[in-house]
Homo-oligomer: A and B are copies of this chain.
Amino acid sequence: MSLNWQNLDSTRAGIKILKWLKYHGVVSLASTLNERRIREYQVTTAADWTYNYAAKLVDDDVLHVLQELATEQQLVFKYESVLAGEVINTGEKRMVLHHLTRGQLGPDVIHQGKNLRHFYQGQLDAIFEFAEKVHSEKRFDHVVQIGIGGSDLGPRALYLALENYVRAHRGGLKLKAHFISNVDPDDAFAVLTELPLERTLFILVSKSGVTQETLANEKLVASYLEEKGLAPSNHMIAVTSETSPLANNPNYLASFYIDDYIGGRYSSTSAVGTTILSLALGVDVVREFLAGAHEADLRALEKDPLKNASLLDALIGVFERNGLNLPYTAILPYSQALQRFPAHLQQLDMESNGKSVNRFGTPLAYATGPVIFGEPGTNGQHSFYQLLHQGTDIVPLQFLGFLKAQQEKDITIDGSTSQTKLKANLAAQIVAFAMGKNDANPNKNFEGNRPSSLLYAPQLTPRALGALLAHYENKVMFQGFVWNINSFDQEGVQLGKVLTNDLLSGKTQNDALLSYARIMGI
């Protein structure tokens, strides 16, 4: 088999999906959602996760077309080619190797004589060694990540997801973690003024070494440390690439490296994420987290979508986007620990698949990545769920749930624990969205047939979190293959950077830009 890159509307199955509403009805969940469907329309995957799609607007006919699409678009074969080190990021002429940061599933990937699995593993070993040294020396109580985008959203979401798990089950945090990301000076000072600086370690994270916000914040932090009589070089480490201007700088306590084959939004399992997670949560926690991600990568190799959760999740998303014409997806974790996970997925998905040309630069005639948003349940129920239930448009949903609470502390009130109430709300929402309710008062009427899926696991452990992260990374990758786009570049973020620098350097002649600068007092 050879790689065949083709547009969705060049495939037989894709054409069927794009014309679905013209030739086919939509499944009625009110009449089909029953015990048998709920039992059968699910697939187990890594780290004891299960993906249940019984409340999605699919039936065996739809699933059959999606299976055809997976074959026609060679989805698993293309994933294997990623693992084998093909240059999948064609725009930037780069391999895509984040899977290699957590294990190896393909052949050795050798670049310029270097085995890249060994390189990533070597960095991880060095990070673990450094973290354990920091833990044993007890010089620091706090660690602050200075980074933005992929160097912020993923690591921050993951830290928050495990902070209380580690407190409850691993004898407490090793260090408390904080994050400075925004170039807004109020962000950095809000963090700095609350910390005992002599007990704080900073991690400067920029793959390129030229990220405007991160370099400004580094200098801001360094000058603040100096102002307080502290030497920045005793308080700062760096995560960057070996070719960046930050590399091999003796002014950092330590430096750890990634390379061009790890995209920012896919870098949570590389040094970008594992440095702060190891320092804050401990080395064992990171090992389990990486093992969970690797396990999910392995499961994503299964060719039949009905046995491959990330592949099926991707395909159902394509059906909703291109078959049912729904332009958004809400991510609804029933776990407060996942409070920032939707923000990470927003980046992962929208930055990867928010593209309108294919991987050869040809404009596409079909929709690609949707808008992603979400907040934890049950909070969202008291907020935007009104529109989800009764708005004029349908928003596809994905619920996340856990059988056990993370801290395993609870209280029974009116015959049920809080965790049981949480899960009961989750179950009730799926059914309410799917089946609706007829009411003589139109204001209290629920049309139903609003689709949702459910990803559930026994508990939000480090291993489960790793598997969840990799599930979404692989889902987004598969969708990019379906749409025939390059999910691994981000040219859309460049123009704003260029105009910003033109303005700051006084080079711009753009009348509109100068006018906005004037009203903003620049």
Instruction: Say yes or no: is A213 at the interface (Cβ < 8 Å to chain B).
Output: yes
Minimum C-beta distance from A223 to chain B (A): 6
Give Cα distance in the complex from A184 to B387, angstroms. 23
B184/A405 in contact, CB under 8 A: yes
Give Cα distance in the complex from A297 to B513, angstroms. 32
4 closest A-B pairs by beta carbon, nearest first, are A354-B387, A149-B382, A428-B499, A390-B492
Can you add 15 more A-B contacts, CB < 8 Å, to A357-B390, A386-B490, A428-B497? A34-B515, A38-B512, A39-B515, A42-B519, A184-B419, A185-B422, A186-B406, A343-B375, A350-B383, A371-B384, A382-B493, A401-B520, A415-B505, A423-B517, A435-B510
Fill in one digit per residue for A151-187: 1 if any B CB lies within 8 Å of its CB, else 0.
Answer: 0110000000001100100000000000001111111
Taking CB atoms and an 8 Å cut-off, the chain A residues in 489-522 that contact chain B are 489-497, 499-500, 502-505, 510-517, 519-522
A389/B443 in contact, CB under 8 A: no
Choice from B186, B504, B513 contacting A405 with Cβ under 8 Å: B186
Instruction: Say yes or no: is A113 at the interface (Cβ < 8 Å to chain B).
Output: no
Chain B residue at smallest Cβ distance from A224: B411
Instruction: Say yes or no: is A426 at the interface (Cβ < 8 Å to chain B).
Output: yes
Binds B, one of A98-106, A287-295, A334-342: A334-342
Instruction: Say yes or no: is A264 at the interface (Cβ < 8 Å to chain B).
Output: yes
A387 neighbours in B (Cβ, 8 Å): 350-351, 353-354, 369, 371, 492
Binds B, one of A61-69, A228-236, A391-399: A391-399
B492/A184 in contact, CB under 8 A: no
Minimum C-beta distance from A147 to chain B (A): 9
Stoichiometry, as copies per complex, reads 2
Binds B, one of A19-27, A124-132, A307-315, A358-366: A358-366
Instruction: Say yes or no: is A418 at the interface (Cβ < 8 Å to chain B).
Output: yes
Choice from B353, B356, B371 contacting A328 with Cβ under 8 Å: B371
Give Cα distance in the complex from A328 to B303, angstroms. 36
Give Cα distance in the complex from A406 to B520, angstroms. 15
Given known contacts A33-B512, A378-B183, A503 and B336 CB-to-CB distance under 8 angstroms: no
A362/B184 in contact, CB under 8 A: no
Give Cα distance in the complex from A188 to B388, angstroms. 27
A401 neighbours in B (Cβ, 8 Å): 520
A492/B148 in contact, CB under 8 A: no
B216/A189 in contact, CB under 8 A: no
Fill in one digit per residue for A314-336: 1 if any B CB lies within 8 Å of its CB, else 0.
Answer: 00000000000001100000111
Can you identify 11 A-B contacts, CB atoms within 8 angstroms? A35-B515, A148-B378, A149-B379, A184-B418, A219-B413, A347-B383, A389-B492, A423-B522, A427-B499, A434-B512, A454-B516
Chain B residue at smallest Cβ distance from A387: B354
A421/B351 in contact, CB under 8 A: no
Minimum C-beta distance from A184 to chain B (A): 5
A351/B432 in contact, CB under 8 A: no
B371/A395 in contact, CB under 8 A: yes
A437 neighbours in B (Cβ, 8 Å): 495
B184/A422 in contact, CB under 8 A: yes
Minimum C-beta distance from A343 to chain B (A): 6
